[in-house]
Structure 1
Amino acid sequence: MNTADELSHEGRSALMRAAAELDTQYDVDGLIRIADRELAEGRELPGLFVAVIRRSQLTLWNGASRLGALVRRIPGPVLNPGEAWSDQALKELDGLGEDWHRLLAHAATATATRPTAKWEEAGRTLIGAVGADAARERLLSWLPLVGRPRTHPLHLAYEGSYANAAFDAYNANALRGITWLLSFLPARAESARVLGALVETALRKVPGLGPVNPKVANAGVNALARLDGEAALAELARLATRVTYKGTLKLLNTALDARAEAMGLSREEIEELAVPAYGLTEVGRAHHRLGDATALVVVHGAKAQLSWRNAAGKEVKSVPAAVKRDHAEELKELKAAVKDIDKMLSAQSERMDRQFLARRTWSYDTWRERYLDHPLIGTLARRLLWTVDGTTVGFADGALRTLTDDPVTGGGDVGLWHPVGDEPARIVAWRDWLERHGITQPFKQAHREVYLLTDAERATGTYSNRFAAHILRQHQFHSLAAVRGWRNKLRLCVDDEAPPATRELPQWGLRAEYWIEGEGEDYGVDTTESGSYLRLRTDQVRFYPIGAPENWAHCYGGEYRMWLPDDTARVDPIPLAEIPPLVLSEVLRDVDLFVGVASVGNDPTWQDGGPEGRFREYWTSYGFGELSQSAETRRTLLERLIPRLAVADRCTLEGRFLHVKGERHTYKIHLGSGNILMTPNDQYLCIVPKSNPSSPQPGYLPYEGDRMLAVILSKAMMLADDTKITDPTILSQL
């Protein structure tokens, strides 16, 4: 670009087109020369060229000092083109007045954590100029487009750039400003809904980068915290169960704690009261009359279904034309509510699954109001088992009932039942009771794995090696640990230390630790491009008092040592025999889940043992070895499910495997990993499951959420009819 002064306008245009293809332009002087010459000749700079100038100003180390003055002189466009949402906004702005341009230009100046009083005053004035309702309508129509693929993909200026996966840096500031502007408007359910979705979009993980844009996510949370009303509180509570990024989760917790304090409630109570009914008028059901038609919303399991009946009461397959014509807004809100129900059901199921260690109890009347009879939560609560004054009960045939189906109509204290405190015979009896009443639990409760102290753990005393020596995919483990309430630090292949993965249990005064270390030392093979380990090696599980100093170890391994501030005495781990059985069981269940989901032994493509074959022995021992507690639970369930399958006569359970007799071979599917061996020589068969395997319908299932069960069943159904397999990758192995 050094010849800009000597080039004609056509030559400069060619250079501008070339520059516009880049995410960042390092030739700052060239950018300035071209822009100065074009502006001096009275020409408007192309929007995509302006975009690269702005991105360079924001991302280069000397961008602010070298390009700041030029950026301030450029009259527009008000947003950088190249993203779906900004393109739509720029298109609509062509038909709007200058007040709209001023509003978005103001939004683009949102570079702080929160709006200052001066920024807010100016924003409110600009909203007044365009009208509050118009501002809300337009802003909310653009935000759902955020996160879609770039409309103008960029050539990356350097290897490792994530510009095509991330938000445009200039537009990201505008997004922050838009969230602030929405928080100045009167609260509406749609505003809360769209802001919540934006938070999730901005935290979407990009391999090698991490969350797309935490600053935009944090702005969305701050905007929700400023909004009054049930809808905003519901979004904050929902996001608190879904978000794992520490900075944003901290903001969510702060916002919820502030709401709780303002209302004189506990954090647990505010989370319970934050769940809306979403228009449901009874547990899991609602009728909405729209003209002569009736919309019926019914919750089935983890999903809400919307169906329609015409004026005669006859069910119709699609939305009646009169509803689309005369009730467009009500229809839009109804469809949005159905989507909200699905999101909230998932979030609340996860929240309740983590309640076993909360030691939470309710008065009977409060519990019925917030759980059993709540229009939404009731669809989950009525599929769980509870204790009323120490008596275990479930909900069936319109009433709470004991194991002998005697109705329970009142009581004092209510708690969530856990099998660790019950006799094995009664646990089995409750499983039979659930099946007899056709109840599918939202997560494992009656079939929940119970981890009791073993002789080996009594011998080691203060630590458990039950889940040591596993190789886990680090990023999958990290995400799952955060969902389960554990705190963890990604291990980088650098000279650094980190504490173990920890879960604090304040109700018990305990802290659980899972000791892990980075695996490998070959940069780029054992690490991502950014240097984080791809895999971890696991070690002990320990317990300490919650206030004890943390242990630390080098990221690539070595002995854990307790970091002791001055004058602080060393704190010994607590003997496992002193850990309450419920706590031990739930912590070890979490760790079993981490291993079961994140182990490389579950990867069917790792027959060669991964890099240089280093993990072949581990992959074989895990992929075909002894079953974990969760796999044993799966085996017990399959004993009841197999006879109901259409291919039952071809399936038998033997030890660790489900044997499936096909026409070409007999296959052995491991009940822990889902890996397959086939006759005659136990030859390995690699079948990579779909991301969301479609499992067969064996009839009744006692609980939801076991993905490996779905994988095993889908493989069994396919292999039992192996002459109909058409996938060339599979056929080449048969």
Structure 2
Amino acid sequence: MAHHTPTSHLERARNQIAAGDMGRLAHVVLKAAEHNRGHWGGGWAEILEILRELPRQERLRLAGALAQRCQEFDEGSAGRRHALTLAAVVSRDLPDELFSVERLKQLDQLARQHSFWYGSRLEVLAEAELAAGRPLAPAVVAVLRRSALVAYRADHLTELAGKLTEPVLNVGEEWAERALQDAAGPDWQALLAHALTATASKPTAKWDKRAHEIIGALGPDRVRAAVLSWLTLVGRPRTFPLESGTAYEPDHNHAYDPYNANALRGLAWLVSLLPPHPGTPRTLGALVETSLRKVAGLGPRNPKVANAGVIALSRIDSEAALAELARLATRVTYKNTAKLLDTALQTRATALGLSREEIEELAVPGYGLTGVGHAEHRFGEVTALLDVHGTKTVLSWRNAAGKEVRSVPAAVRRDHAEELKELKTAAKDIDRMLSAQSERLDRQFLARRTWAYDVWRERYLDHPLVGTLARRLLWSVDGTSVGFADGEPRTLGGTPVKAGSEVTLWHPVGREPAEVVAWRDWLERHAITQPFKQAHREVYLLTDAERTTGTYSNRFAAHVVRQHQFNSLAAIRGWRNKLRLCVDDEAPPATRELPQWGLRAEYWIEGDGEEYGEDTTESGSYLRLRTDQVRFYPIDAPANSAHCYGGEYRMWLRDGADPVEPVPLTDIPPLVLSEVLRDVDLFVGVASVGNDPTWQDGGPGGRFQEYWTSYGFGELNQSAETRRALLERLIPRLAIADRCSIEGRFLHVKGERHTYKIHLGSGNILMTPNDQYLCIVPKASAAAPGTGYLPFEGDRTLAVVLSKATMLAKDTEITDPTILSQL
């Protein structure tokens, strides 16, 4: 809300000046400040101007009156702050002792803020300190710099901040304080100062030239060692906390200092100019991911820093940098950064005459593995064994006699500290890359990729890293289904397949049920846990209802999903989506483009609710969405859009063009239909409010009660049916098998206190008597205890169901008071 000083305040001030009554003048201007709530705009410029123009003796008397009034206000109050600020305005050449103590207290309070409202003119307190010949505390300098970055038409504040050159970075962030500590000498100071000038979207030739000069003066190795050590500290907790502002402000303690953020961009660009080094891409990749971590009320910490990291990686000509770009491309969901990554990979692919898919395949490093998923490293007489188990690396140790030892030998810690550190870092790199490659492979079903047999063996089956995933998947060689066993790809009957012309990734669509079941048995017989569902993958065939509707599917309509979780899942699965705001605006549906098929899939959604703060975040984005149809259009068809809070989707047409009709579902290839509907099932299955065990009251106003009940205990979807079939095979192996049975939609567990029914879709629980609801909130890291072999990874709900069953079978041993109170 804008605030304007009433004309009467200005007139009263002039009257008191004419009367020479500085005591009353102090009262008038403080009253005006209180009325204006410190928003020093509008007529305040005139009030401040007439106060500045007072003769020195009158200003001295006014300053004394303000000092007296200052004592009447409580510590930290707005009145005291106004008095000090007004005093600083009028006392530019007056004796400093009048306000020095109070001013320092006020500045000390200011140092704990993120920034201040530029209209409050608090910078005059700092100017008064500088005029008295005293330097400002580094934390105060930081506040002034941050405030100047967001100031509007406040030249005085921007000018002051520009004069504050010490310290070169803002204190409060661990990486910056380490840099200030390390950067002794003019050349290091010049490096940091140059990094701060990185305000453009990418470095210019002039910027690079100056950076090269600085690197030459310091030496590339010294620069790399220092800068990488600083960048590894980015994102750590602040060295001192900032006080939280209003309820509408984000928690700045979890965000980057915006002044220092420019320096981070510059440092990322700068290390990309150094000779390639394996530690550089790793550090830049971590910087990208850290910068995109979300802060409540703010969003990603700092996308500009993330983008600088991507640009830096794209400028490094090394396999490690290319691998990091490819890994990030599978992980990053923030639209602008993802686009930069895509451009960087496409540019590299074009330069090498390869496709985007090929560059991603070739970019995967071996990380020193000498066999598929295995490496040995000698440290004197000790051998370290690095083995990939599933999607995790395991380090083990053998002494000189070849005997396994449980921990890192002391001699290795003492004599090979750097090599040990590098080995542990490589293990973490492998874990990250394995996760990224698993997601990439899971998206290959719709990519229509085929490989020549020899290329497939090299890039997949025999690749030291990707091979650990590829050997747990099923493939088709010239139409013959194969799995990897006993050192070779083999048919169901065990015949080796050592040659072929075309290899594709196996998918259950179009397979005979008997073949699918046979491969499931084969996987179990060979104790192979697939990195994601393949043999057990859900297949979504066209239903009679969808044949009737013709051009759209209502199979996943009328659900209520958490918007931000839906948005993240959509991005991970390659969909584009725009967050719905509770404003008068339109948005397209969630879409997935399928260029290999010439199609665009759409999932129609709309915001739910209209109560700001109850149905939205503080920034106005909807907390929940309602879902509607799934449709398919030609990939080049004009975009559809609808109002954010609902209404009919319309196609945006230009120049009198005719609308493009949706493609009939009967014309959609079965593989495409199945994979798209599987994505949508995933979105609903994970993001539905029906999965929230704390919503038994139906959420805000109880208005979701009916939906929560119908979803949380209703018919099973396709993925839940897969879970049911798997549990029928798993339950007999469990230690609690005699207490468990599967009946319809539920896993029944007989405890001592009650019998419990765990829904196989949501994991929600009912108990005897009378199907009373039992709320158990699963931990974020819920694991399936004591199940032994599982045929695939990644089903968190399966883990939740099994962990709840294990707990409830021994319900007399439960100690959690929140659960006990319900039993």
Matches within 5 A, 1:242-391: 242-391=331-480
Mean CA deviation greater in 96-105 or 34-43: 34-43
Closer, same or farther: CA 2–157 of 1 in aligned 2, 3 Å:
farther
2:91 matched to 1:3?
Answer: no
Q: Which residue of structure 2 lines up, in the alignment, with residue 630 of structure 1? A: 719
Q: Which residue of structure 2 lines up, in the alignment, with residue 66 of structure 1? A: 156
The CA deviation string for residues 31-84 of structure 1, in whole angstroms up to 9 with x for no partner, is 432333333333321100000000001122235x23222122223101101112
Shift of 1:464: 0.4
For 1:580 and 1:513, locate their aligned partners in 2 and report how far apart those are by CA, in whole Å: 16
2:134 matched to 1:43?
Answer: yes
SS at match of 1:408: coil
Shift of 1:397: 1.2
Q: Which residue of structure 2 lines up, in the alignment, with residue 503 of structure 1? A: 592
2:565 matched to 1:470?
Answer: no
For 1:68 and 1:521, locate their aligned partners in 2 and report how far apart those are by CA, in whole Å: 40
Alpha carbons 1:202, 1:213 under 8 Å: kept: yes
Shift of 1:138: 1.1
2:572 matched to 1:488?
Answer: no
Shift of 1:12: 2.6
SS at match of 1:640: helix
For 1:32 and 1:24, locate their aligned partners in 2 and report how far apart those are by CA, in whole Å: 11
Alpha carbons 2:130, 2:136 under 8 Å: kept: yes
For 2:101 and 2:364, locate their aligned partners in 1 and report how far apart those are by CA, in whole Å: 60
Q: Which residue of structure 1 lines up, in the alignment, with residue 315 of structure 2? A: 226
2:243 matched to 1:159?
Answer: no
Q: Which residue of structure 2 lines up, in the alignment, with residue 130 of structure 1? A: 218
Larger CA Rg, structure 1 vs 2: 2
The CA deviation string for residues 613-664 of structure 1, in whole angstroms up to 9 with x for no partner, is 0000000000000000000000000000000000000000000000000000
Write the letter of the residue equivalent to 2:325. Answer: L
SS at match of 2:631: strand
Instruction: Give aligned pairs, total.
Output: 731
The CA deviation string for residues 170-226 of structure 1, in whole angstroms up to 9 with x for no partner, is 011111111011111111111100100010000001233211110000000000000
2:209 matched to 1:121?
Answer: yes
Percent of residue pairs identical: 73
For 1:607 and 1:676, locate their aligned partners in 2 and report how far apart those are by CA, in whole Å: 11
SS at match of 1:503: strand
Alpha carbons 2:540, 2:677 under 8 Å: kept: yes
Q: Which residue of structure 1 lines up, in the alignment, with residue 273 of structure 2? A: 184
For 1:11 and 1:115, locate their aligned partners in 2 and report how far apart those are by CA, in whole Å: 45
For 1:514 and 1:74, locate their aligned partners in 2 and report how far apart those are by CA, in whole Å: 52
Alpha carbons 2:765, 2:773 under 8 Å: kept: yes
Alpha carbons 1:28, 1:67 under 8 Å: kept: no
SS at match of 2:333: coil
Q: Which residue of structure 1 lines up, in the alignment, with residue 104 of structure 2? A: 13
Shift of 1:125: 1.1
The CA deviation string for residues 529-573 of structure 1, in whole angstroms up to 9 with x for no partner, is 000000000000001100001111100001111111113211111
Match of 1:716 among 805, 809, 820: 805
Write the letter of the residue equivalent to 1:34. Answer: L
Q: Which residue of structure 2 lines up, in the alignment, with residue 682 of structure 1? A: 771
For 1:290 and 1:441, locate their aligned partners in 2 and report how far apart those are by CA, in whole Å: 34
Alpha carbons 1:38, 1:45 under 8 Å: kept: yes
Shift of 1:501: 0.4
For 1:376 and 1:280, locate their aligned partners in 2 and report how far apart those are by CA, in whole Å: 7
Shift of 1:28: 5.7
Matches within 5 A, 1:650-669: 650-669=739-758
For 1:149 and 1:328, locate their aligned partners in 2 and report how far apart those are by CA, in whole Å: 27
Alpha carbons 2:554, 2:628 under 8 Å: kept: yes
Alpha carbons 1:484, 1:590 under 8 Å: kept: yes
For 2:625 and 2:609, locate their aligned partners in 1 and report how far apart those are by CA, in whole Å: 9
The CA deviation string for residues 232-286 of structure 1, in whole angstroms up to 9 with x for no partner, is 1011000000000010000000000011011111100000000000110100000
Q: Which residue of structure 2 lines up, in the alignment, with residue 75 of structure 1? A: 165
For 1:571 and 1:560, locate their aligned partners in 2 and report how far apart those are by CA, in whole Å: 13
Q: Which residue of structure 2 lines up, in the alignment, with residue 99 of structure 1? A: 187
The CA deviation string for residues 330-353 of structure 1, in whole angstroms up to 9 with x for no partner, is 212111110000000000000000
Closer, same or farther: CA 300–446 of 1 in aligned 2, 3 Å:
same
For 2:444 and 2:594, locate their aligned partners in 1 and report how far apart those are by CA, in whole Å: 11
Q: Which residue of structure 1 lines up, in the alignment, with residue 293 of structure 2? A: 204
Match of 1:555 among 644, 666, 675: 644
Shift of 1:510: 0.4
The CA deviation string for residues 148-191 of structure 1, in whole angstroms up to 9 with x for no partner, is 22222212444322222211110111111110111111111111
Write the letter of the residue equivalent to 1:235. Answer: E
Q: Which residue of structure 1 lines up, in the alignment, with residue 174 of structure 2? A: 84
Q: Which residue of structure 1 lines up, in the alignment, with residue 693 of structure 2? A: 604
RMSD value, Cα: 1.2
Alpha carbons 1:28, 1:66 under 8 Å: kept: no
Shift of 1:27: 4.9
Mean CA deviation greater in 651-660 or 111-120: 111-120
Mean CA deviation greater in 113-122 or 275-284: 113-122
Alpha carbons 1:57, 1:66 under 8 Å: kept: no
Alpha carbons 2:607, 2:622 under 8 Å: kept: yes
For 1:422 and 1:678, locate their aligned partners in 2 and report how far apart those are by CA, in whole Å: 40
The CA deviation string for residues 88-143 of structure 1, in whole angstroms up to 9 with x for no partner, is 222333xx222111111111121111112221111111122222111111111111
Closer, same or farther: CA 422–331 of 1 in aligned 2, 3 Å:
same
For 2:244 and 2:295, locate their aligned partners in 1 and report how far apart those are by CA, in whole Å: 16
For 1:430 and 1:129, locate their aligned partners in 2 and report how far apart those are by CA, in whole Å: 64
- Could you list the structure 1 runs, at least 4 aligned residues long, displaced by more than 6 angstroms after superposition: none
2:143 matched to 1:52?
Answer: yes
Alpha carbons 2:291, 2:306 under 8 Å: kept: yes
For 1:37 and 1:644, locate their aligned partners in 2 and report how far apart those are by CA, in whole Å: 77
Alpha carbons 2:118, 2:157 under 8 Å: kept: no
SS at match of 1:2: helix
Closer, same or farther: CA 487–29 of 1 in aligned 2, 3 Å:
closer
For structure 2, the 5+ residue unaligned runs are 1-84
Shift of 1:30: 4.1
TM-score by length of 1: 0.98
